[in-house]
């Protein structure tokens, strides 16, 4: 867990990633002081890489009215302040996750009725095909070629803004039933043109789009792509398809695959458990030969150590535990007796006391 990781010009001090998590607390897409404190605290907390939440490339690309954006100069200014804080006060690197909500857009905040349409003020949504997510969601408009070009351009511009803010890495959200995912999943892509049908066709737009974003993003900074490696539904993508998807992403310039699953259809019946998506990461990493991020119910240092040591992923993304404890990585390292991770210098006396108390507890457990 505490070994460094290098990719292109990026060097992480350890293998823990704070996974992207929507906070639904922006007005007009502007990440305000809440975001500075939230992301800043996680950067101070020791994770090698801290991701922003899905940050939207246009007002109508948002999931909800509270989602973060990077389509104007004011938003870029706020993001730069957050990135600068992380860089000047911690050894964490900071990654930007870019996304477009597609058919799951115009819905309520995460703690309201998530994925259900807004009570008022809805905006029209687009997707690969006119397939709605749930019975109450809008039927999206199937994207035209012009729509595809516009969205690609929005992502390329957002990537350039992100590079200007100083983000160290970019992640493209192609999972969980959002716009790009709606092309990849056979249950939501019913197109009869070159962008629908077999997997190679369903990947055509996500790959065109990845190549365009790669060209707009600095060559020394990596790009990861988050996918749903299993739709958990009859007729949906399976982990075999995920291996094929990852191979195509690698050929189109992705450096890493962030291996999530599900949330592409209401029919899904996922099988949850400890580290439940790690087998998909394992297959992609070892069959395709591309770096992966494992995610999903990884919540102990032991899990991270086992996954990394067994070569099942290069990095482990940890989401909900970081909501319970911004200092998850520093605490987990101390519990393992590893004292060499950088703590903020302002907090060093807390580190010393924690390590002493943990050593004393270990001694007492041995004596008992």
Ligand X SMILES: Cc1cc2nc3c(=O)[nH]c(=O)nc-3n(C[C@H](O)[C@H](O)[C@H](O)COP(=O)(O)O)c2cc1C
| Listed residue (45, 52, 47) closest to 20, CA to CA | 52
CB of 269 to ligand X, least distance (A): 17
Does 25 interact with ligand X (rule: CB under 6 A)?
no
Does 260 interact with ligand X (rule: CB under 6 A)?
yes
Find tokens 């049908």 and name the residue: 197
Does 223 interact with ligand X (rule: CB under 6 A)?
no
Cβ contacts of 81-85, under 8 Å, gap ≥ 24 = 81/36, 82/31, 82/35, 82/36, 82/39, 82/40, 83/165, 83/166, 83/167, 84/166, 85/36, 85/40, 85/43
CA-CA distance, 357 to 343, in Å (whole number)?
17
Which range touches ligand X (CB under 6 A), out of 41-49, 128-136, 182-190, 289-297? 289-297
Q: Which is nearer to ligand X, 93 or 104 (CB)?
A: 104
Does 95 interact with ligand X (rule: CB under 6 A)?
no
Other beta carbons within 10 Å of 158: 27
Which range touches ligand X (CB under 6 A), out of 143-151, 205-213, 229-237, 292-300? 292-300
Q: Which is nearer to ligand X, 53 or 282 (CB)?
A: 53
Q: Which of 12, 16, 22, 156 is the binder for ligand X (CB under 6 A)?
A: 22
Which residues 6+ apart lie within 8 Å of 103 measured at CB? Answer: 125, 126, 127, 131, 132, 133, 137, 138, 140, 177, 178, 179, 182, 188
Q: Which of 319, 332, 334, 341 is the binder for ligand X (CB under 6 A)?
A: 319
199-218 binders of ligand X (CB under 6 A): none
Does 110 interact with ligand X (rule: CB under 6 A)?
yes
CB of 355 to ligand X, least distance (A): 26
CA-CA distance, 63 to 74, in Å (whole number)?
20
153-192 binders of ligand X (CB under 6 A): 173
Q: Which of 295, 307, 330, 341 is the binder for ligand X (CB under 6 A)?
A: 295
31-60 binders of ligand X (CB under 6 A): 53-54
Does 274 interact with ligand X (rule: CB under 6 A)?
no
Q: Which is nearer to ligand X, 285 or 351 (CB)?
A: 285
- Name the 3-class secondary structure at 82: helix
Does 320 interact with ligand X (rule: CB under 6 A)?
yes
Strands 93-99 and 126-127: unpaired
Q: Which is nearer to ligand X, 99 or 196 (CB)?
A: 99
CA-CA distance, 62 to 16, in Å (whole number)?
27
Q: Which is nearer to ligand X, 67 or 151 (CB)?
A: 67
Q: Which is nearer to ligand X, 137 or 224 (CB)?
A: 224
Q: Which is nearer to ligand X, 2 or 295 (CB)?
A: 295
Round the CA-based radius of gyration of the chain to a whole number and report it: 20
Q: Which of 297, 305, 335, 336 is the binder for ligand X (CB under 6 A)?
A: 297
- Read off the tokens for 190: 């019913």
Active site residues: 178
CB of 175 to ligand X, least distance (A): 6
* CA distances in angstroms from 28 to 31, 97, 355, listed in the order given: 9, 18, 44
Q: Which of 2, 318, 333, 354 is the binder for ligand X (CB under 6 A)?
A: 318
Other beta carbons within 10 Å of 178: 26
Residues interacting with ligand X, by CB under 6 A?
Answer: 19-22, 53-54, 97, 110, 173, 226, 260, 295-298, 318-320
């Amino acid at each position: 867990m505490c070994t460094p990781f290098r990719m292109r010009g990026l060097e992480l001090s350890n293998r823990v990633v704070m996974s992207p998590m929507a906070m639904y607390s922006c007005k007009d897409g502007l990440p305000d002081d809440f975001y500075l404190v939230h992301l800043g605290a996680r950067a101070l907390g020791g994770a090698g890489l801290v991701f922003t939440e899905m940050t939207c490339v246009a007002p109508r690309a948002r999931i909800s009215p509270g989602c973060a954006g990077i389509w104007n100069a004011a938003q870029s200014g706020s993001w730069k302040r957050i990135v600068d804080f992380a860089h000047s006060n911690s050894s964490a690197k900071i990654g930007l996750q870019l996304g477009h909500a597609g058919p799951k857009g115009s819905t309520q905040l995460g703690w309201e009725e998530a994925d259900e349409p807004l009570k008022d003020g809805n905006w029209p949504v687009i997707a690969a095909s006119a397939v709605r997510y749930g019975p109450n969601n809008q039927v999206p408009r199937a994207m035209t070629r012009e729509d595809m070009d516009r969205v690609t351009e929005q992502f390329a511009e957002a990537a350039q803004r992100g590079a200007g803010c100083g983000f160290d890495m970019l992640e493209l959200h192609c999972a969980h039933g959002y716009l790009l995912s709606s092309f990849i999943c056979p249950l939501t892509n019913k197109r009869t043109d070159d962008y629908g049908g077999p997997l190679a066709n369903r990947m055509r737009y996500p790959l065109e789009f990845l190549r365009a974003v790669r060209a707009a993003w600095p060559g020394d900074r990596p790009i990861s792509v988050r996918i749903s490696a299993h739709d958990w539904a009859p007729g949906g993508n399976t982990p075999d398809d995920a291996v094929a998807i990852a191979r195509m992403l690698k050929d189109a310039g992705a450096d890493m695959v962030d291996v999530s699953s599900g949330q592409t259809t209401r029919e899904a019946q996922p099988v949850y458990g400890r580290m439940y998506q790690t087998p998909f990461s394992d297959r992609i990493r070892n069959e395709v030969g591309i770096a992966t991020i494992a995610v999903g119910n990884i919540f102990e240092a032991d899990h991270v150590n086992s996954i990394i040591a067994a070569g099942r992923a290069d990095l482990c993304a940890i989401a909900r535990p970081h909501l319970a404890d911004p200092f998850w990585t520093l605490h987990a390292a101390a519990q393992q007796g590893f004292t060499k991770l950088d703590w903020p210098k302002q907090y060093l006396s807390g580190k010393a006391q924690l390590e002493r108390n943990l050593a004393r507890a270990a001694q007492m457990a041995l004596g008992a």
